[in-house]
Chain A
Amino acid sequence: MFGRRLGAKPLSLNLLSFLVISLIWFLCLLIMVACEKNSTAGYPLNRLPSFKCRDIQGKEVDFGKLKSKYVYLHFVRTFSPDDEIGINKICKDLGRYHSATLLFLFPSNSRPKTLESGPNIDFIYDKDGQISSRFNAPACCDSYQFFNQKGELIYRGLFDGDSPDQVISLFLDVIAGNIQYLDENFKQLKIKDSGLMADLAQFINHEANRNTFFVIGFISAGCVNCRIAEIIDRVNQIYASSHSRSCFLLEVPSDYSDADLINFDRAFQISIPIARPPQDIGLAWDYLRNHYAGLFDNFFIIINTKGEILDFLDEGGNEDSFFEYLISLVG
């Protein structure tokens, strides 16, 4: 009996320990899920994943073995024979760099004919966009991603017919080490956010002191018939229902005149305040616009009261996941 009582104590301690450990694990799990949400919503992969597939000749392509090279990944989402001209130019100009591997992914129903292959060039059929999805490549249009020799994502951009020369030049910059890691560049907005916060302060004071999230859209190429109009409209709807808990602002380029602001307001018919960015943010935005091939011409960010960027939606991003996250924050 004594022994049993003695034995009972360790049992309750064990149970308590088990519960505590379970609780800690549960909390860790919650934090991991939250971190996962914050870090991946709308973002591309930060690192080259390891997996294998086969090229259009049936040869195995092992992504895991590419990490010692600079990797150029080109996602063709809507193939037309004219695309081969630009791709061949990229292959010709970049294929000679032995430190680089070029991979082109085509829709499985496409039949490229005149592609110029090489020892470090592979053409792959991307069945049902499965590989593109792994890289969060936009489905709307052709795009590309650059990875460095450590397998880190350096750069990504949208590709159109005018782009080959620009893409080649950018990739050579990557090889030369002239382009830094994507997120580091993007953080320029965050690092210099004192101006942004000051810009927001008037709205904080004006609207409510209890705002907890700020949603800021940067719109430089607005068009009422374009995709951005639908996105602005969705933001506007969320703004209409949640502005007591959050602060919304649309920034337009600093060179927009007063007439431009009026015409913008008139064209989009939105109730979100519109402003020109403070100088430091304007410069950071210019940087992003110039260095990311149109990805940041229009984009939205969600920041918290500390000025930390929680999520962003750029031209190639998935707006559904962005809005799902935004609604979860602002209610």
Chain B
Amino acid sequence: MKIRSQPLPILFVQCALLICACCSPRGLAQKDEDRLSDTEQQALLKRFPTPNYAEKLDLLTYFPIKQNPASTEPSGMPLRMALGPDNSLYISEANEAQVLVLELDGGMSRRIGARGRGLSQFLEPSLLGFASDSKFAVWDSRALRIQLFDRQGDFVSSFRLFMPCSSMTVDNRGYIYLSFLDAVSNDRPLIDVYDLSGRHLGQFGRRIQASSPFFNEVDLSISEDGILAAWKTYPLIRKYSKSGELLFEHYIDYGPLSYFGQMNMSAKCGAQGTEFHTAVWKIFGGSDAYYLLIGYPRLEILKIDFSGNIKKVLWDDAPKDLFVSDFLIMRHGTKAKIYILEQRPVPGIRCYEVGGL
């Protein structure tokens, strides 16, 4: 095993850190420590003003999330969000170990699962993906397993994997693409592919040869004809075909992205994971472009075409301690709605409406 090649003390330190860090649903880079002080935030806002062509987002509405029906105040730890074929928002919530299903107007539709190790139970549901109209997959980042449910929320099947995972996406064929967190080596392929029965189909992609394997935490998103991979620690975007060919690689030269990317690249203590700042928070694939979410120093969404050009910058002020964990875009004719999952300070969904996306 690869582990054997590491000196034992280093291995134990890595293992201990990984148990604490990578089992976190937010992964390695997006830890609680990954926040800016007020001074840092103000300094970065001055250093990286929004470009002239940037558009300020106006908050259309805000849906609070409540981890249980008895809650009177917004509560819970929402981790990921996916749009279901029924036009509902599926949200993984860690405090009560459940998947919440919300209508697009914010109304609670139902709750799926409870805490436990059994069927339809989770220890920490995090990543979500829709396999087809009838099934959706939930990755449990503590049990290290995927459970499949039908659209009514009834359990269908499950299978286990034995590595922590930073991202998961599912295509319309029912292929599940996972990027595992390898605490030891940069040599592992970037993406593994499984079918819905848990059978390993293949793996592809290369990791960056960085000073620390923790550098290679990526977010995945399905685009129409391929898989997009965004490094969370570095503004590097790759697109692979569904058979694993590299279609393009973009370095996104944009103020805060480049700043945090370079800072992370030169971090010498990166093996601890705590030294990294998140550069790219999430990626969302579209038919002719992809979108990047940036969580600080201000909330920003970049639209980038498949040639790597930034076509649009949308932004909003980030309140103190804002931590956003996911986003998605839903089109209605010429307009689009952007849903951003806010984990803190108030768990909920920010909804914006924009034209020309």
* Residues of chain B with a CB closer than 8 A to A268's CB: 1, 162
B3 partner, pick from A140, A222, A224, A264, beta carbons under 8 A: A224
| Residues of A in contact, count (CB < 8 Å) | 23
The answer to whether the Cβ of B199 comes within 8 Å of any Cβ in the partner chain is yes
Q: How far is the CB of A210 from chain B (nearest CB, A)?
A: 29
A266 near B163 (CB under 8 angstroms)?
no
* Residues of chain B with a CB closer than 8 A to A257's CB: 158-160, 198
A223 near B16 (CB under 8 angstroms)?
no
Tell me which of A140, A221, A225, A270 has the highest count of chain B C-beta atoms within 10 A of its own C-beta: A225
* Residues of chain A with a CB closer than 8 A to B198's CB: 257, 259-260, 262-263
Q: How far is the CB of A60 from chain B (nearest CB, A)?
A: 35
Stretch from A38-46, A121-129, A170-178, A227-235 at the B interface: A227-235
Stretch from B41-49, B177-185, B335-343 at the A interface: B177-185
Closest Cβ neighbor of A233 among chain B residues: B1
The answer to whether the Cβ of A304 comes within 8 Å of any Cβ in the partner chain is no
* Residues of chain A with a CB closer than 8 A to B143's CB: 221
B159 near A227 (CB under 8 angstroms)?
no
A233-B4, A260-B198, A263-B198 known; A226-B15 Cβ under 8 A: yes
Closest Cβ neighbor of B123 among chain A residues: A221
* Residues of chain B with a CB closer than 8 A to A18's CB: none
Q: How far is the CB of B188 from chain A (nearest CB, A)?
A: 10
Docked complex Cα distance between A53 and B205 (Å): 58
* Residues of chain B with a CB closer than 8 A to A263's CB: 159-162, 198, 200
A257-B159, A260-B198, A263-B159 known; A223-B164 Cβ under 8 A: yes
Mask: chain B, 68-79; 1 = CB below 8 Å from A; 0 = not: 000000000000
The answer to whether the Cβ of B108 comes within 8 Å of any Cβ in the partner chain is no
* Residues of chain A with a CB closer than 8 A to B144's CB: 221-223
The answer to whether the Cβ of B22 comes within 8 Å of any Cβ in the partner chain is yes
A230 near B11 (CB under 8 angstroms)?
yes
Mask: chain A, 204-243; 1 = CB below 8 Å from B; 0 = not: 0000000000000000011111110110010000000000
Closest Cβ neighbor of A236 among chain B residues: B1
Docked complex Cα distance between A224 and B160 (Å): 13
B16 near A225 (CB under 8 angstroms)?
no
A227 near B19 (CB under 8 angstroms)?
yes
* Residues of chain B with a CB closer than 8 A to A259's CB: 159-160, 197-199
B162 partner, pick from A140, A227, A230, A264, beta carbons under 8 A: A264
Q: How far is the CB of B122 from chain A (nearest CB, A)?
A: 14
* Residues of chain B with a CB closer than 8 A to A267's CB: 161-163
The answer to whether the Cβ of A256 comes within 8 Å of any Cβ in the partner chain is yes
Closest Cβ neighbor of B159 among chain A residues: A259
Docked complex Cα distance between A268 and B181 (Å): 15
* Residues of chain B with a CB closer than 8 A to A233's CB: 1, 3-4
Docked complex Cα distance between A259 and B162 (Å): 12
B3 near A229 (CB under 8 angstroms)?
yes
Tell me which of A226, A256, A269 has the highest count of chain B C-beta atoms within 10 A of its own C-beta: A226
A257-B198, A263-B160 known; A226-B3 Cβ under 8 A: no
Interface residues of B in 1-54 (CB under 8 A from A): 1, 3-4, 8, 11-12, 14-16, 18-19, 22
Closest Cβ neighbor of B16 among chain A residues: A140
Mask: chain B, 183-201; 1 = CB below 8 Å from A; 0 = not: 1100000000000011110
Docked complex Cα distance between A263 and B199 (Å): 8
Interface residues of A (CB under 8 A from B): 140, 221-227, 229-230, 233, 256-257, 259-260, 262-264, 266-270
